[in-house]
Structure 1
Amino acid sequence: MTNSPFAEERVQSVPFQTSGTTGPERTTTMKIFLATASALAICAGGAARAQEVYDLGEITLSSTKAGGATPLDRTGASVQVITQEDLEKADETTLAEYLARQPGLSVSANGGVGANTTLRIRGLDGKYIKVLVNGIDVTDPSSTQAQFNWGGLTTANLGRVEILKGSSSSLYGSRAVGGVVNISTIKRPDEPGSKVTLSLEGGSYETYRAAAGITYTGARGGVTFGIDRITTDGFSSKSGAGSTEPDGYRGTQITFSADTMATETLKLGLSGYALDSEGEFDEFLGDGAPPYDEKNSTKTRAIRTFAELSAGAVDHTLSFTYLTTDRVSSSNGVDTFFDGERKRLDYTGRYIASDLLTLTFGTDWEEESFTSGTDSGSVETTGLFGEVLYAPTADLDLSASARLDDHSTFGSHVTGRLAAAYRLTGATTLRAVAATGFRAPSLYELYSTLYGNPALQPEESTSFELGLEHEFSAGRSLRATAFHTRIDNLIQFVTLTSWPLPFTGQYQQVPGESRTQGVELAAEWAMNDWLGLFGNYTYTDAEDATGARLLRVPGHDMTVGLTGDFSGGWSGNVNLRHVADRPAEFGTVMGDYTVVNAGVSYAFTDNAEGYLRIENLLDETYETAAGYQASGRALYAGLRASF
């Protein structure tokens, strides 16, 4: 029995047509990453320009291409910012679980840690979301729809996460229809010096995590390096009677970034990402017959090098990124091999005409390819873009951007965006955005022998949003945003025959306009100087052009919680998430569920603390994807220290 792509996250992978040989062996190893980071640390140690002016450790994804940090009250787009301190207090193991309690975001997973996991922004799933780690696009070009698997990414060694919501194709090209998630790793010290952070954790399902982060700031630049390892015996991903075989996971992730001032006007930098993982999974149609065990392994290597030059009135940035992925899916005694590759070259120029006007322009080129058995394909895309930021008054910020993408298969596509932020008062900001976007079919959707469709055409989208934010006082705020996105010619997987086996299906176009629309509400309220209340609610109405609801998109998603910093070094938090009104999935009624997570920590010193956290405190039985159960009550304890 082969895995079936009933939905975008059917299991860990959908096999391409197999062959008896693997793809080309990758020679890049973890040792190369370690050696590169060490060499850059030496380069960063000399004396030159002050590092606080050039701090790569805080990569900021603003809602523009202008570079630098844009104050949130001066951007029309919705940007959710999560800090390193937020993540250190998180009650969840993976970043996806933490993101699930943010407004407008939802997650579905085919099991526990390491299982195939999809993030959604305002009802739009992973194929519409670009994911960056230290500036590197880490979406997998060999996956069914060129998306990122969130299952193994924990909260360790992350410094900042920014979620840009809404169509951003005019800034980031194809696939950025739902938004962009930009992740930067642990931040460097503000002053020259070094810092080492260590953490250890153990708990339910024989789960163990260890992480180490090393950061260094010199006079000419700096380095960040992080490594984390997680192992778990897990639990059975498949739900239902008789599903007792646990599905374990082992993963090691390395990230680094470094930069140095070569001259007074030229900065050179390098960042990297590496992942080695092995996991077990259960197929959508049930476990394979003994002695077959469903397993997969993933090896990802990525590197980005860049140069930033200040040349008079114009700032220039040139970068090159290279990513490879090697995956093996083992099911029913058959190994299926997936190899993906991405090369990308970017140039961006910025001209600050005045305090009121900034012009940004640039071009980029990208080549993606995949091979799996006898299946293969490649595509090239060349883009040109421009953006204007204009502040006609002290209270109004306007932006306009346009982009031309020339796709080697589908020709030229033009996208654009208009955004405005108007500060009605010093405490109230009104935002508005109108944008268009497009998503070209993935290589798998086009060229898979089993499920592909070379007749597919790109999806095109139009989106609008209107938001209002009011800050009552420090730590007390309220935000409301209405959003609407229409997608023409949505691509969905259509089951042709499912019984009797063999299973067959194909990716097909859904003619007409599909839509996702709704409202986000979010609030924070500092009750006093040691206790805070937060909450958010999202209503989402998501349907394809036939009126069928989009799978795994909840109609109602609500989170409320409390955080407290008590005397004597104690702190704690608790959050409750309630999900309701999900569409039936292949005949399975998806019930409502409520999950409570809680945690408490104690600071032994200013630089060391111990913590205890509980996931699913009420031991709720629930599924985020039909047929796949989530974790029951789980207890974890850990230590964190820095020096």
Structure 2
Amino acid sequence: MHAIRLLPTALAALTLLGSSAVLAQEASSLERVTVVGSRKTLPATSATETLVPVDIYAMGKVAEGGGQFDLAQSLQYLSPSFNSTRQTGADGADLIDSAALRGLGSDQTLVLVNGKRRHTVALVNLFGARNRGSTGTDMNSLPLLAIDNVQVLRDGAAAQYGSDAIAGVINIQLKKRAGCEGVAGYGQYSAGDGKNYLTSAYCGVKLGGGTLAVTGEWQDRGRSNRADPGDLRTIGDTAVKNKTVYLNGEFPITGDNKLYLVAGAQDRDASSAAWARGGVGSDDIPSRNSAAMYPGGFVPFINGDVRDRYVIVGWKSSVAGWDTDLSQTYGSNKMRYVISNTLNASIANKDLLAGGKGISPGSFDAGSFGFSQATTNVDVSRYFPELLGGSNIAFGAEYRKEKYDIAAGEPGSYIDADGVGQGGNAGSQGFPGFQPADATRRSRDSQALYLDWEASPTSALTVSAAVRGERYSDFGSTTTAKLAVSYKLGKAVLLRGAASTGFRAPSLQQLYFSSTFTDFINQQPLDVVLAPNGSAITNAAGVPALKQEKSKNFTAGFTFKPGADTAFTADLYQINIRDRIVLSGRFDDSNYPALGVILQGLGVGQAQFFVNSVNTRTRGLDLTASQRTRLGAGRLSTFLALNVTRTTVSAMHAPASLKGFEDVLLSTRERLFIEEAGPRTKATLGFEYSQGAWTGEARLIHFGKQTQGAFTEGLYLHYKPKTSMDLGLTWQASPALKFSVGGNNVFNVKPTRQDPYETDNGFYYDSVQFGLNGASYYARAHYRF
């Protein structure tokens, strides 16, 4: 593998330069904390001493002077296990960046904030998107300046934290230290677009013996466009305006009693470009356009009005020597679509046929969807220093209530005004609105109990075991377990390994998302439907009720820390997932005649749906290495991290009614979206040199090869390995003020050029590996007071 061939060179650089960690892999900023993956609240130790692989990224330098202005892109270039690529031409997926670990789905990574479960978004990734058929957590809804550190647990942890923790867990730890600081930043692409403005302020104030931290952030990211001159389309970043505020506090009450809270809100106005429609002389008139409205063609814009809210309120105490934590968490995400610079071609055509000019409204409310989650936790733990050399026993319970709804758009966003097949297509161009038949309001609840025991029978041996039982109101119960062991070989070497079972409950979004539009099939007006589970359509197709995905996780590795300035970790892993939920292809009378007849009897021409139909196996290797030393009059730091991963579909098990039609259920193209959702290899090699008031940084980010399926069966899109470089320079002008400038992808590297007729976005550069925008430059000022 190409990235493996880079490893000897990188390690040689570490040895020759005697360098130091550019990233805060050490937990030095943490005092008495619980690092994700363990429930012990003891003085934090190095990431080389954890039972399972945990990366700890201190976010201070990133927030103060980094080249990325949001959390998802910051982690994309810090953590090789983490993948988040901005999409273009992917409808709603353009508005919210999906993120995932180890090449698995975004809904197979659990995200916590201060150790508490964070809600997912309401959006289901569907068209032209990676992680299609899944939903995930919006990492960019939290301001960077509010974050102290991000802990990435690279191991399955469903037995500890519940559903979604198959690929791993990301815990975002918020700051609550006294003092104030502010950041102002500007960036843009070398092409001159994508202008990015950022202002953010943090202030932690002493209040009632505790600290209340308040962070406010405003970000305005402009649209970018890489389409060729003369091309109507807009290919590039979505335009985004974020207004965010977050509070984080902890207050002692009496004795061991503490009250803590988190409250956050973000309003996002985002706008992405849909596919361009042709003007006069094209086939798009009158089916998709009106000569009276857009004679030169037009690009519809999908505007998302996103409202995200998050609250944690908790009480920590001590009862008979046991630490107790009672908390209530609530999160909600709501997105409303407004389609602008558009038309309903059927309305325009009806107007034309009636003697008018051929006019339609140019903007439509296309409807909305929302998701909310309320979680109640009771956690109890105690450390027994004399039991088996030191034991931490923890147990607890969780109750979670989830709600999901879809609201129909205004009639003009979906109706076929001139009659099906009469010339003008139904609905708003760019995104047809949700119809009344799509509207839904659903909910479910779950209850869980867990037990966790971590002990050190000898000074060298540590053992951890966890078991969790969970019951869902809509599909039943599941039990998961985990066993982890570490053994010290002297002071420098630690062997570690873990085995666990896990699960992921089907999301309400996968269970109940519905989208309908009308098409003219075999001269008959029929609906094309993404049908929810349990509907008349899925029942007619013999699709069983969705059930949980189940996993088995295995990790084995070692850490090496010969001194305070050198650290190395290596971990192998395997993740087997059974009954993975996928979005099917479209079934109709051309690819499944018997089912097509049944569907047409229901007024449906084509249908697709979610189904538990594949097993996958993911194998990989994670390596990290860091060293630090004096060099000349300054200090040199180096950090290397490498992830190699490979996912394969190991089995296909279609429902009995769909046997023999596996190629429709999961085409080669869709299979590759699962197997190669991210690059096979990803590596980061960073150097930082500090002397006096100046700090310079250089970082190489290597993205391995990736293969995607083309629209033409039998053709493949091969993306060659690519390496980009980021450069940065910081000047500490005074103890309180510093300035940072730099560039990302300074050599303007882009993905492998492809046939635009075969790519997802219809452009010769697709949004894979690291995006298609090219080089960018930035400047920041940070002031602490």
Same fold per superposition (TM over 0.5): yes
- State the partner residue of 2:10: none
1: CA distance, partners of 2:113 / 2:262: 9
1:622-641 maps to which residues of 2 (within 5 A)? 622=751, 626-627=760-761, 628=767, 629-641=771-783
- State the partner residue of 1:562: 687
- State the partner residue of 1:62: 36
- Residue 176 of structure 1 and its aligned partner are, at CA, apart by 1.1
Change (3 A) 1:392 1:219: farther
- State the partner residue of 2:576: 486
Amino acid at match of 1:249: V
- Residue 485 of structure 1 and its aligned partner are, at CA, apart by 0.3
1: CA distance, partners of 2:35 / 2:318: 20
Change (3 A) 1:274 1:239: farther
Q: Quick check: 1:302–1:323 contact (8 Å CA) kept in 2?
A: yes
Find out whether 1:140 has 2:130 as its counterpart: no
1: CA distance, partners of 2:726 / 2:496: 33
- State the partner residue of 2:705: 581
From 721, 729, 741, give the equivalent of 1:612: 741
| Residues 587-596 or 451-460, more deviating | 587-596
- Residue 76 of structure 1 and its aligned partner are, at CA, apart by 1.5
2: CA distance, partners of 1:239 / 1:66: 56
2: CA distance, partners of 1:153 / 1:439: 24
| Residues 391-400 or 557-566, more deviating | 557-566
Q: Deviations over 1:567-620 (max 9, x none)?
A: 3x1101111112122121444615232221111110011111011021121112
- Residue 533 of structure 1 and its aligned partner are, at CA, apart by 2.0
Q: Quick check: 2:69–2:198 contact (8 Å CA) kept in 1?
A: no
From 108, 111, 124, give the equivalent of 2:104: 124
Query: Structure 2: which 5+ residue stretches go unaligned?
Result: 1-28, 125-133, 189-193, 279-287, 290-297, 343-363, 408-438, 516-529, 535-544, 592-603, 653-670, 754-758, 762-766
- State the partner residue of 2:505: 440
| Residues 281-290 or 70-79, more deviating | 281-290
- State the partner residue of 2:55: 80
1: CA distance, partners of 2:475 / 2:513: 18
- State the partner residue of 1:96: 72
| Residues 157-166 or 407-416, more deviating | 157-166
From 155, 172, 175, give the equivalent of 2:161: 172
Secondary structure of 2:393's counterpart equals strand
Find out whether 1:243 has 2:233 as its counterpart: yes
Q: Quick check: 1:614–1:635 contact (8 Å CA) kept in 2?
A: yes
Amino acid at match of 1:458: Q
- State the partner residue of 1:5: none
Secondary structure of 1:598's counterpart equals strand
Q: Deviations over 1:311-346 (max 9, x none)?
A: 222111100111222211234545220122111110
- State the partner residue of 1:340: 371
Amino acid at match of 1:211: S
Q: Quick check: 1:110–1:237 contact (8 Å CA) kept in 2?
A: no
Amino acid at match of 1:495: G
1: CA distance, partners of 2:103 / 2:195: 34
Find out whether 1:158 has 2:147 as its counterpart: yes
2: CA distance, partners of 1:329 / 1:517: 39
- Residue 151 of structure 1 and its aligned partner are, at CA, apart by 5.1
Find out whether 1:278 has 2:256 as its counterpart: no
Change (3 A) 1:623 1:301: farther
Secondary structure of 2:495's counterpart equals strand
Bigger share in strand? 1
- State the partner residue of 1:224: 213
- Residue 527 of structure 1 and its aligned partner are, at CA, apart by 4.7
| Residues 64-73 or 550-559, more deviating | 64-73
1: CA distance, partners of 2:277 / 2:583: 20
- State the partner residue of 1:13: none
- State the partner residue of 2:185: 201
2: CA distance, partners of 1:301 / 1:243: 34
- Residue 310 of structure 1 and its aligned partner are, at CA, apart by 1.0
From 484, 501, 511, give the equivalent of 1:419: 484
From 68, 82, 85, give the equivalent of 1:108: 85
- Residue 236 of structure 1 and its aligned partner are, at CA, apart by 3.1
Q: Quick check: 1:62–1:69 contact (8 Å CA) kept in 2?
A: no
- State the partner residue of 1:514: 616
- State the partner residue of 2:385: 354
- State the partner residue of 2:300: 292
1: CA distance, partners of 2:560 / 2:30: 31
Secondary structure of 2:553's counterpart equals strand
1: CA distance, partners of 2:699 / 2:372: 40
1:384-463 maps to which residues of 2 (within 5 A)? 384-450=449-515, 451=530, 452-454=532-534, 455-463=545-553
| Residues 295-304 or 381-390, more deviating | 295-304
Secondary structure of 1:392's counterpart equals coil
Change (3 A) 1:381 1:590: farther
Structure number with larger C-alpha Rg: 2
- State the partner residue of 1:50: none
2: CA distance, partners of 1:502 / 1:286: 24
- State the partner residue of 2:201: 212
Q: Quick check: 1:208–1:232 contact (8 Å CA) kept in 2?
A: yes
Backbone CA RMSD of aligned residues: 3.0
Q: Quick check: 1:157–1:211 contact (8 Å CA) kept in 2?
A: no
2: CA distance, partners of 1:135 / 1:310: 19
Q: Quick check: 2:213–2:247 contact (8 Å CA) kept in 1?
A: yes
- State the partner residue of 1:376: 441
- Residue 348 of structure 1 and its aligned partner are, at CA, apart by 0.7
- Residue 496 of structure 1 and its aligned partner are, at CA, apart by 0.9
1: CA distance, partners of 2:618 / 2:223: 34
From 545, 555, 563, give the equivalent of 1:473: 563
| Residues 99-108 or 481-490, more deviating | 99-108
Find out whether 1:505 has 2:505 as its counterpart: no
Bigger share in helix? 2
- Residue 267 of structure 1 and its aligned partner are, at CA, apart by 0.9
Secondary structure of 1:118's counterpart equals coil
- State the partner residue of 1:539: 644
- Residue 502 of structure 1 and its aligned partner are, at CA, apart by 8.6
Q: Deviations over 1:468-510 (max 9, x none)?
A: 1111333222111100000001111122169999975322222
Change (3 A) 1:237 1:398: farther
2: CA distance, partners of 1:161 / 1:239: 39
Change (3 A) 1:286 1:67: farther
Amino acid at match of 1:300: D
Query: Structure 1: which 5+ residue stretches go unaligned?
Result: 1-54, 190-194
Find out whether 1:267 has 2:258 as its counterpart: yes
TM-score, with structure 2 as normaliser: 0.69
Secondary structure of 2:267's counterpart equals strand
Secondary structure of 1:446's counterpart equals helix
2: CA distance, partners of 1:286 / 1:466: 53
Amino acid at match of 1:251: N
Q: Quick check: 2:149–2:172 contact (8 Å CA) kept in 1?
A: yes
Q: Deviations over 1:115-143 (max 9, x none)?
A: 43222212222101111233453332533
Amino acid at match of 2:74: Y
Aligned residues: 582
1: CA distance, partners of 2:277 / 2:679: 25
Amino acid at match of 1:532: S
Change (3 A) 1:325 1:382: same
1: CA distance, partners of 2:65 / 2:708: 35
1: CA distance, partners of 2:397 / 2:111: 20
Q: Quick check: 1:185–1:255 contact (8 Å CA) kept in 2?
A: no
2: CA distance, partners of 1:626 / 1:57: 47
- State the partner residue of 1:309: 317
